[in-house]
Amino acid sequence: MIRQATVMNDRINIAIDGPAGAGKSTVARLVANQLTYIYVDTGSMYRAVTWFMTRLGIGPELPDKVLEYARNMVIELRPDTDGQKVWVDGEDVTPYIRTSEVNGLVSQYAQIEGLRSHLVFLQRQMALNKGVVMDGRDIGTTVLPDAKVKIFLTASVKERALRRFNEMNDADRTSLEQLEQDIAKRDTLDEQREISPLRCADDAILMDTTEMDIRQVVNKIVSICRSQKDGERIT
């Protein structure tokens, strides 16, 4: 008789994609907390590169230069009580990456093919040991196509603009109408770029969160994850 031992390799990777302001970061962080997984905010990596390049005066029209400098950046995502901190070359750059300047430029840097490949490589390294909740635009389609659970979060442009508005501090706050326009513009750029456009993976679960609160979204995703955990059979 062949004895079969079933070893539960509990940890899975979870991909959370969707447009700007759909609540991905908050939801992904809370899901990671509940499952005691690592949270990876890939948007913050594109933002950190954007901030770094603007500081050096290297525009997105110089893709070779962007890539040359990006390859030498040491980008670290460090867990923190209120989310995740982003460090570049040993400096905490978290306060600089969500300004309106970076918001306005990041989609243009995110279109650079070489930069995307470089960041995708780093993101895959972070997920090698599983137990990662990664959020972005192309996680389910490109970065982790084998992720066990893929969620595509969305909400109406109006609702997403309102959520961003409420998150902003007074110094950075622009009008709600302006935010709606910015979000719609960013959606178009993210959806229409040639490389890894924002798209719901065929095997992703689509969740429209316009009428849902964070707790409902998180609970739903956690229960999907708990019912989907990997089982690895050793014979």
Q: Per-residue x/- marks for ligand DC, 185-204, CB under 6 A? A: -x---x--------------
| Interface region with ligand DC, contact rule CB under 6 A, candidates 56-64, 83-91, 131-139, 154-162 | 131-139
Question: How many whole angstroms separate alpha carbon 112 and alpha carbon 96?
Answer: 21
CB nearer to ligand DC: give 174 or 229. 174
The residues facing 77 across adjacent strands are 86
| Interface region with ligand DC, contact rule CB under 6 A, candidates 3-11, 136-144, 150-158, 201-209 | 136-144
Closest approach of Cβ 95 to ligand DC, in Å? 15
Closest approach of Cβ 233 to ligand DC, in Å? 33
CB nearer to ligand DC: give 10 or 191. 191
Verify binding: residue 163, ligand DC, rule CB under 6 A. no
For helices 63-71 and 42-56, what crossing angle results, to 10°? 110
Q: Sort 156 into a burial class: Cβ within 10 Å, 0-12 / 13-18 / 19+.
A: middle
Give just the sign of the alpha carbon dihedral 78, 91, 124, 56: positive
| Interface region with ligand DC, contact rule CB under 6 A, candidates 5-13, 42-50, 84-92, 209-217 | 42-50
Per CB under 6 A, the list member of 54, 115, 118, 137 interacting with ligand DC is 137
For the sheet containing 91-92, what is the strand order? 75-80, 83-88, 91-92
The residues facing 152 across adjacent strands are 17, 206
Closest approach of Cβ 106 to ligand DC, in Å? 4
Query: Which DSSP string corresponds to 145-176?
Result: TT-SEEEEEE--HHHHHHHHHHHS-GGG---H
The residues facing 79 across adjacent strands are 84
Verify binding: residue 136, ligand DC, rule CB under 6 A. yes
Please give the torsion angle defined by the CA atoms of residues 164, 165, 169 and 173, in that order, rounded to the nearest 10 degrees.
Answer: 120
Per CB under 6 A, the list member of 12, 39, 40, 47 interacting with ligand DC is 47
Count of residues that bind ligand DC according to CB under 6 A: 13
List interacting residues with ligand DC (CB under 6 A): 20, 42-43, 46-47, 106-107, 110, 136-138, 186, 190
